[in-house]
Structure 1
Amino acid sequence: MRLRYLALALVLALRLAHGAETVQLATYYDYVPWFVPGQPSAGFNALLASKLNGMSGGRYHFESVYIPRRRLDVLLHEGKASIVVPWVHPRFFDDPGRTRYLWTAALMDDESLVVSSRAAPLEYDGPDSLRGKRFGAPSGHRFPDLDPLIAAGAITRIDVPQIKNALQMIVLNRRLDFTIVDRSTLDALRNDPFMDAALLHVASRPRTASYERSMLVPLDKPELYRFLQGAVDALRNDRNWLAPHRRSSEHQAAPADR
């Protein structure tokens, strides 16, 4: 009898999985704490996918994936794939009025920092204070406040594969004067064996005030949005849901050759 019930439960689970709508939980951050290349179950994005799958009751199946920013913009514009983008803010997607996409409540708060070498520290006092400097930034990432100065040649932007590369170059005094990094990422990278955080200087004034990281949902997915909004409300009541991954991600490092 017990085996029969187990068999029925397995059949039901398979049916639910088969009928579930697959949703790509897409991040364009291919570094800790958000995503760990080669370790699909590690990082905040994978943890969020697992949490959402447990909450959906088989209605949705969320897959944690990395998609480069330029490709992600194309996919969102085409509207053909079922994609949700967590860990982002409306200004990252030119949507200050929140009219191009649906936006959930915040998953977490963060802030943007200006980081330079301790040997040549920079203090930040608005974009103009960065004139004449060399700026390392991950390819495809946007910085609306700095882009006019970059376009005018007042700031030299040097694209790097990921933020970790920019921080390493600053530590080694190679070609870069500063980079922009979020506090969540910097905290996760402090114990990276390939980077000595003691050689970095964080400007006393953040580039931005504290801001919310939410989930972007396409306008044509109102039912999915309602589910995600309820899920975020539940997660916000559990202040420690990220704590285990927050601690473990501090000891994760992306491959040195990336």
Structure 2
Amino acid sequence: MVMRLSYLFLLPALALALRLAHGAETVQLATYYEYVPWFVPGQPSAGLNARLAGKLNSLSGGRYHFESVYIPRRRLDVLLQNGKVAIVVPWVHPRFFDDPGRTRYLWTGALMNDESLVVSPRAAPLEYNGPDSLRGKRFGAPSGHRFPDLDPLIAAGEITRVDVPQIKNALQMIVSNRRLDFTIVDRSTLDALRNDAFMDPALLHVASRPRTASYERGILVPLDQPELYRFLQGAVDALRREHNWLAPHKRLPDKRAVTADK
């Protein structure tokens, strides 16, 4: 009996040893947000995506190794469609990936809540009253990002979309009073950018009505990864109980200059 009990206690350790012997499965934790608070170019350990990768690695017990990576949106769509790389996408909502019924992908619970805001120059402020209130305006948007509520008006030429490399570029153009009437920014990103040297919040106007109600940011998991999904769902539940893991860390200066005309 004693030997049997000792064997049972050793089973978890043996399982972990076997996992380590075979090597952890590498999973790309891919974000298409190349800006704070999600990702800091040139500083792979900074940003919420890298912090999440570290948390998931600690929780996985050697089973998975999550790598924080930036992948442009169009490239990310191709990788998800091909299914040849182990990849998951955090910080997203089903409507970002045309999956309102949650049938194309598996979706974890929320990592955090957010909301989408309409931001314009203080010198020419816009109030948002639905997509029609933006007719005739020039809209700065990161290349590859989708806006289902605005896309029909953009396709009809009633809103002029100006693609920019990052949301930071659009905000820079707005504070400089250059060529844009508005942009769409999530509150989490706007809060993270308020202390950047390029941006004077006094020159920005945030519409009193958000573009969206509060929404959840979770993790997209391909349908053919049910075991990985189960781990991630449990990890998200654990992180939700750790209330301060998303608290801002001291941010390092951005080493890469970004210009509005890049």
Distance in structure 2 (CA, Å) of the matches to 1:75 and 1:17:
29
Distance in structure 1 (CA, Å) of the matches to 2:131 and 2:21:
49
Counterpart for residue 116 of structure 2: 112
Asked if 2 retains the 8 angstrom alpha-carbon contact of 1:17 and 1:58, the reply is: no
Select the residue among 128, 133, 137 that pairs with 2:132. Answer: 128
The CA deviation at 1:256 is 2.1
Give ranges in structure 1 of 5+ residues lacking alignment: 1-11
What code does the residue aligned with 2:238 have?
Answer: A
Counterpart for residue 4 of structure 2: none
Tell me, yes or no, if structure 1 residue 69 matches structure 2 residue 70. no
Q: Alpha-carbon deviations, 1:50-72, whole Å to 9, x = none?
A: 00000000000000000000000
Distance in structure 2 (CA, Å) of the matches to 1:132 and 1:33:
31
Distance in structure 1 (CA, Å) of the matches to 2:64 and 2:21:
8
TM-score (norm 1): 0.91
Distance in structure 1 (CA, Å) of the matches to 2:116 and 2:55:
27
Distance in structure 2 (CA, Å) of the matches to 1:88 and 1:17:
34
Aligned length: 244
Counterpart for residue 6 of structure 2: none
TM-score (norm 2): 0.90
Counterpart for residue 9 of structure 1: none
Counterparts in 2 of 1:181-196, with a 5 A limit? 181-196=185-200
The CA deviation at 1:254 is 6.5
The CA deviation at 1:18 is 5.6
Counterpart for residue 241 of structure 1: 245
Select the residue among 173, 178, 202 that pairs with 1:174. Answer: 178
Secondary structure of residue in 1 paired with 2:239: helix
Distance in structure 1 (CA, Å) of the matches to 2:41 and 2:21:
26
The CA deviation at 1:195 is 1.3
The CA deviation at 1:248 is 2.5
Asked if 2 retains the 8 angstrom alpha-carbon contact of 1:52 and 1:62, the reply is: yes
Counterpart for residue 5 of structure 1: none
Change (3 A) 1:17 1:216: farther
Aligned CA-pair RMSD? 1.6
Counterpart for residue 142 of structure 2: 138
What code does the residue aligned with 1:28 have?
Answer: Y
The CA deviation at 1:239 is 1.1
What code does the residue aligned with 2:250 have?
Answer: S
Asked if 1 retains the 8 angstrom alpha-carbon contact of 2:56 and 2:66, the reply is: yes
Q: Alpha-carbon deviations, 1:148-200, whole Å to 9, x = none?
A: 00000000000000000000000111110000000000000000011111100
The ranges of structure 1 where at least 4 consecutive aligned residues each deviate by more than 4 angstroms after the TM superposition are 12-15
Tell me, yes or no, if structure 1 residue 94 matches structure 2 residue 95. no
Change (3 A) 1:254 1:207: farther
- Identity among equivalent pairs (%): 85
What code does the residue aligned with 2:171 have?
Answer: L
The CA deviation at 1:20 is 0.5
Secondary structure of residue in 2 paired with 1:242: coil
Select the residue among 63, 87, 91 that pairs with 1:59. Answer: 63
Counterpart for residue 3 of structure 1: none
Distance in structure 2 (CA, Å) of the matches to 1:255 and 1:13:
42
Give ranges in structure 2 of 5+ residues lacking alignment: 1-15
Tell me, yes or no, if structure 1 residue 157 matches structure 2 residue 158. no
Change (3 A) 1:107 1:13: same
Tell me, yes or no, if structure 1 residue 201 matches structure 2 residue 210. no
Distance in structure 2 (CA, Å) of the matches to 1:142 and 1:236:
28
Distance in structure 2 (CA, Å) of the matches to 1:34 and 1:17:
33
Structure with higher Rg: it is 2
Distance in structure 1 (CA, Å) of the matches to 2:192 and 2:147:
22
Asked if 2 retains the 8 angstrom alpha-carbon contact of 1:112 and 1:208, the reply is: yes
Tell me, yes or no, if structure 1 residue 147 matches structure 2 residue 148. no
